[in-house]
Amino acid sequence: MNPLRQAYRSLWQPASPAPLTTLRIVTGLVMLVGSLRFWSLGWIETNLLAAQLQFKYAGFEWVQMPEPAWLLYAVFGAMVLASLGVMLGYRYRLSAWLLWGSFTYVELLDLTWYLNHYYFISLLLLLLALLPAHRHLSLDVRLGRVQPFSSLPGWMVALPRWQMGILYVYAGMAKIQSDWLLEAMPMRLWLPAHSSEPLLGPLFAWTYTPWLFSWAGMLYDCTIPFWLSWRKSRPWAYLTVIVFHGLTGWLFQIGMFPVVMIAITLVFFDANTHLHWQKRFFGSWAAVQGAAFRVARPWVLLTGLYLAFQLLFPWRFVLYPGDFFWTEAGYRFGWRVMLMEKAGTATFYVTRADNEREGLVDNAEFLLPHQEKQMAMQPDLIVQYAHWLKQHYEKQGVPVAKVRAEVYVTLQGKPSSLYFDPQLNLLELNPRTYPHWLYPAP
């Protein structure tokens, strides 16, 4: 039999649902903790409700803050309940779609809070909502609401692993460039800030530590899915997952994500390991029972299209000219994590249409510090803000003829330089098109 055909057939081999069950439980748990944490830290208020404007994702301009604003708390309430539902496998389809919907809605509210990890969680929740992850060890089965399945087609169990594999390998490939490997940037800027940590502190002040971290990080990201897939190296690989994410979590302000990654990576373990632990925790309840699940062929086609999209979409940056870090065209949704230290200072000037008078905008009047920081270095956000300023002043009865900005951007700790012509009328630009108006990278 030819190998391609063999590989295709193996995708259809019945596989135990156990790994998917663990994934469902830990994802629900992590989402539960994550949403409660977000709430209890007051971030619903300080990060979302306190903002006067929201920066939009291209194509998702229609996603608006809830009206009245307290409904956002209801959205988080739904997220908490849905996380519980997913974890317990109770009214699973409803819970899983609700969780995906509420989480994704919150992420789409304001682009300045974009994180690769949030995007990853959105994708994972979508996969979980589509997969039958509740047909084993769930309340739905226990209550007789659905029939249990003893096996699923192999590709269904493999799908979350592939998704994780893409994340890691793409994150690793993005690190194969001279800034990261030869200059050890931005590690060289970030690590020494930790030289006062106990125990490991002196290590961060050592000359070669940033290179060590850069190379180890690249090699880890590029290869870890393979080490996790190979039975012999798996326990060691998982140990490095814990060490790697533990270390980054300790060093950088990345909140919950180390825990998320450590928890979700469990899906790489084989079915027997999962069953072993599930039986420890849940006893006979964890026994696999029921019929084999069969799936309609069109789903396979859709899954293939989804994976193709995942593989191709991060490459769209090659279609754009110019320095990638400078323009950020095609930067998001590409698993580019920790690659650059970029910051800007943006001063906006608004010209009135009636008396031609130009006034200076105090960004702090309209933007959260985080929003200003993000806006000041991303071309599409700069244009969005300019358009918002026009709207804002015109609502107050001040006709606006022009909004211009003097923006200086620094990349990888290099001296800052002018981002574009400060005389350019930003109102004539579209935030959704390629920023051809930027000066070339210094």
Partner 1 sequence: MQRLLLLSLLLVALVGCKDEPSGPSGQGFDRGQMLAYYADNHIQPAYDSLSLAAQELHSRLLGLATQPQSGELTELRAAWLSLYLRWQSASIYNVGPAAEQGLRKRLAEELGTFPVSEAKIEQYLSAGDTSFANFDRDSRGLFAIEYLLYKGTSTEVLARLAQTPVRNYLMALSNRFKSESQRVANEWRPYRAEFVGSTGTSAGSSTVQLYNEFLLSFEGLKNFKLGLPLGLRMGQNQAEPQKVEALYSGASLAGIARQWQALEAFWRGNGSTGFKAYLLASAGGNELVNRTEQQLLVINARLAACGTGRLDSLITTNPQPAIELHTELQRNTRFFKSDLSSLLGLTITYSSGDGD
Give residues 232-271 in contact with partner 1 (rule: CB under 8 A). 233, 236-237, 239-240, 252-257
Q: Are strands 291-292 and 358-360 parallel, antiparallel or unpaired?
A: unpaired
- Nearer CB in complex with partner 1: 10/196: 196
User: Could you tell me if 347 and 360 are in contact, meaning their C-beta atoms sit under 8 angstroms apart?
Assistant: yes
Residues with Cβ < 8 Å from 78, sequence gap 6 or more? 98, 102
Residue 439 interacts with partner 1 (CB under 8 A): yes or no: no
CB of 22 to partner 1, least distance (A): 23
Distance of alpha carbon 212 from the chain centroid: 26
CA distance 310 to 300: 15
What backbone torsions phi and psi does residue 167 show, to the nearest 5 degrees? -55, -50
CA distance 281 to 353: 70
Question: In the window 88-107, what residues touch partner 1 (CB under 8 A)?
Answer: none
Among 173, 247, 410, 441, the residue binding partner 1 under the rule CB under 8 A is 410
Among 94, 143, 200, 205, the residue binding partner 1 under the rule CB under 8 A is 205
CA distance 43 to 73: 11
Question: In the window 322-361, what residues touch partner 1 (CB under 8 A)?
Answer: 337-338, 341-345, 347, 349-350, 355, 357, 359-361
Residue 184 interacts with partner 1 (CB under 8 A): yes or no: yes
The type of residue at 428 is: E
Q: Which part of the chain contacts partner 1 (CB under 8 A), choosing from 18-26, 141-149, 190-198, 282-290?
A: 190-198
Could you list the beta-strand ranges (E) of 80-219: 149-153
Residue 210 interacts with partner 1 (CB under 8 A): yes or no: yes
CB of 394 to partner 1, least distance (A): 12
Among 204, 268, 331, 388, the residue binding partner 1 under the rule CB under 8 A is 204
Q: Which part of the chain contacts partner 1 (CB under 8 A), choosing from 17-25, 269-277, 312-320, 406-414?
A: 406-414
The H or E element that residue 440 is part of is none
Among 57, 90, 155, 220, the residue binding partner 1 under the rule CB under 8 A is 220
CB of 162 to partner 1, least distance (A): 21
For partner 1, how many residues bind (rule: CB under 8 A)? Answer: 81
CB of 341 to partner 1, least distance (A): 5
CB of 360 to partner 1, least distance (A): 5
Q: Build a one-symbol-per-residue string for 5-24: x at contacts with partner 1 by CB under 8 A, - elsewhere.
A: --------------------
- Nearer CB in complex with partner 1: 311/418: 418
Residues with Cβ < 8 Å from 120, sequence gap 6 or more? 163, 167, 335
Q: Which two tokens stand for residue 390?
A: 């026009």
Residue 420 DSSP code: B
Q: Which two tokens stand for residue 127?
A: 């996969």
Question: In the window 23-62, what residues touch partner 1 (CB under 8 A)?
Answer: 43, 46-47
- Nearer CB in complex with partner 1: 155/244: 244
CB of 36 to partner 1, least distance (A): 14
The H or E element that residue 343 is part of is strand 342-352
CA-CA distances (angstroms) from residue 289 to 153, 279, 292, 293? Answer: 15, 14, 9, 11
Q: Which two tokens stand for residue 232?
A: 């012999």
List the Cα angle 392/396/399 in 5-degree steps.
80
- Nearer CB in complex with partner 1: 323/362: 362
Q: Which part of the chain contacts partner 1 (CB under 8 A), choosing from 162-170, 196-204, 278-286, 295-303?
A: 196-204
CB of 356 to partner 1, least distance (A): 12
Q: Are strands 291-292 and 400-411 parallel, antiparallel or unpaired?
A: unpaired
Q: Which part of the chain contacts partner 1 (CB under 8 A), choosing from 8-16, 133-141, 155-163, 410-418?
A: 410-418
- Nearer CB in complex with partner 1: 2/207: 207
Question: In the window 355-374, what residues touch partner 1 (CB under 8 A)?
Answer: 355, 357, 359-362, 364, 368-370, 373
Sheet with 14-15, edge to edge strand ranges: 14-15, 149-153, 291-292
Nearest C-alpha neighbor of 242 from the set 220, 273, 226: 220
Cis peptide before 415 (omega within 30 of 0): no
Among 11, 49, 65, 115, the residue binding partner 1 under the rule CB under 8 A is 115
CB of 77 to partner 1, least distance (A): 20
CB of 221 to partner 1, least distance (A): 11
Nearest C-alpha neighbor of 364 from the set 57, 107, 51: 51
- Nearer CB in complex with partner 1: 2/355: 355
CB of 106 to partner 1, least distance (A): 12
With the CA atoms of 71, 77, 79 and 82 taken in that order, what torsion angle do they form, in degrees rounded to the nearest 10?
Answer: -130
User: Could you tell me if 216 and 224 are in contact, meaning their C-beta atoms sit under 8 angstroms apart?
Assistant: no
